[in-house]
Amino acid sequence: MWCGALAIVCLLVLGSSEARKGFGPGEQDWGYVDVREGAHMFYWLYYTTADVSSYTERPLVLWLQGGPGGSSTALGNFQELGPLDSNGAQREGNWVQHVNVLFIDNPVGAGFSYADNTSLLVTNNEELIDDLMTFMLHFYKLHSAFKDVPLHIFSESYGGKMAPALAIRLDEAMKSGELAQPGILKSVTIGNPWISTRHITREHSKYLFVNGLIDEDGVVQIDAQEERILSALKSHEFENATDEYLKWYDLMQVLTGKMYLYNTQTHLDPSEDRTYGYGDDFVRFMEVNVSEALQINGSYYASQVMDVLGSLHGDRLKSDINAIPRLLNETSVKINIYSGQLDCLVPTTATLSLIKDWAWTDKSAYLQANRTAIVVDGILQGYEKIGGKFGMYWINRAGHLVPSDNPTAMQYVLKSVTQYDGKSWE
């Protein structure tokens, strides 16, 4: 069903947009939006549990999982920032206590989203963003109370590629009156973002060496493999680049004795789920417990994730390093990057060298800003440097998945970025 011309029918078919009791505390809503014929995108909205007279008093945070193919409703929700963890226990430091959170299983094929035929999965970032835009058009029709509510996009990792591209399109559509209101999109905030393969691959061996995870011989081997990725990219052999990237991953695992790439200093327990959401227990939890509570078909969960990876194989390592400078130059959207210091996949130094290479109109405001310590309840959590429309947050004791590794610091960032209760941090 193509909803564009049939909005009324869609509303009926997709069900009510009223808050419902879903899984865990608070009011929720969820469902599928057909972004193309045969392409079904799943979302899960949590209304804030903050003590407010209307949920519209708090901002809407859109969370986009990385991957590609990671499930926002599963990983972002249960492993990083939702009200419950995957043991069903309340998460201290969850975001729903402060703001409304919208999880989207994106692209189609991730999480509970699915395509009737895998030939319908997206093959590049433009198609992926087209689907997200179609989704957002429908979201604002179904949940029109949000059209005046400040919107903030938060994401991590591969989100470095998706979130800025989505923001450019959303800002345009808002300005033209196509959806919500002009100026409602306030910020894009991305953790350990995979934006520029070139900048990232130059930093891996340094990170591993400085942290004692490889020796000089390892440096030579890693650098040689990274060079293969870059040379494939340079000659526009994009599939090959991804193949070489996967070989880099294997090499790094061999050299480090299977270090946990996303957090090089923790997750010591070998029985811990290091599968980024595809461990048996977690999959069963999504397929059975969650899907039963939501009354959706659990067997869709993650059933097409390998197809998603296959379909984006040739696009994965392509970068658009201009999307963020463009947003900063041409829109009022604020940009923030946060970086967990223990991440090997996208080391903090890679992000800093990219920021150094970016040019944007009021960059001097950022460059002149002081970098200051983030201290919460007397404990050092990291550092921030914010100037003009750009902010950088360094997060201590966190790796690639900052909200789960250091929820205290991440709540500081959430508050600093969204100003959700109009008060500054104390």
Ligand X SMILES: *[C@@H]1O[C@H](CO)[C@@H](O)[C@H](O)[C@H]1NC(C)=O
Contact residues toward ligand X (CB under 6 A) are 87-88, 117, 119, 228, 231-232, 235, 237, 240, 285, 289, 297, 299-300, 303, 322, 325-326, 329, 359-361, 370
Q: Least CB distance from residue 406 to ligand X, whole Å?
A: 24
Rank residues 168 and 261 by Cβ distance to ligand X and give the closer one: 168
Alpha carbon 45 to chain centroid distance?
16
Please say whether the beta carbons of 48 and 58 come within 8 A. yes
Q: Least CB distance from residue 240 to ligand X, whole Å?
A: 4
Burial class (CB within 10 angstroms; exposed 0-12, middle 13-18, buried 19+) of 181: middle
Q: Least CB distance from residue 7 to ligand X, whole Å?
A: 25
Q: Least CB distance from residue 389 to ligand X, whole Å?
A: 12
Please say whether the beta carbons of 118 and 304 come within 8 A. yes
Rank residues 266 and 303 by Cβ distance to ligand X and give the closer one: 303
Structure tokens at 307: 């197809």
Structure tokens at 125: 């970032």
Q: Least CB distance from residue 66 to ligand X, whole Å?
A: 23
Rank residues 253 and 295 by Cβ distance to ligand X and give the closer one: 295
Rank residues 313 and 326 by Cβ distance to ligand X and give the closer one: 326
Closest CA to 398 of 165, 160, 217, 156: 156
CA dihedral 360, 361, 364, 369 (to 10 degrees): -80
Q: Least CB distance from residue 332 to ligand X, whole Å?
A: 15
Rank residues 57 and 243 by Cβ distance to ligand X and give the closer one: 243
Rank residues 180 and 328 by Cβ distance to ligand X and give the closer one: 328
Q: Least CB distance from residue 155 to ligand X, whole Å?
A: 20
The 10 Å CB-count burial string (b at 16+, else e) for 58-73 is bbbbbbbbbbbbbbbb
Rank residues 286 and 413 by Cβ distance to ligand X and give the closer one: 286
Rank residues 113 and 411 by Cβ distance to ligand X and give the closer one: 113
- Measured distance CA(392)–CA(339) in Å, rounded: 8
Closest CA to 84 of 396, 409, 381, 404: 404
| Mode of pairing for the β-strands spanning 379-387 and 390-395 | antiparallel
Closest CA to 416 of 384, 388, 371: 384
Rank residues 268 and 359 by Cβ distance to ligand X and give the closer one: 359
Rank residues 33 and 180 by Cβ distance to ligand X and give the closer one: 33
Rank residues 194 and 285 by Cβ distance to ligand X and give the closer one: 285
254-261, Cβ contacts within 8 angstroms, sequence gap of 24 or more: 255/208, 255/213, 255/214, 255/218, 255/221, 255/222, 256/208, 256/213, 256/214, 256/218, 259/213, 259/344, 260/399, 261/343, 261/344, 261/345, 261/400
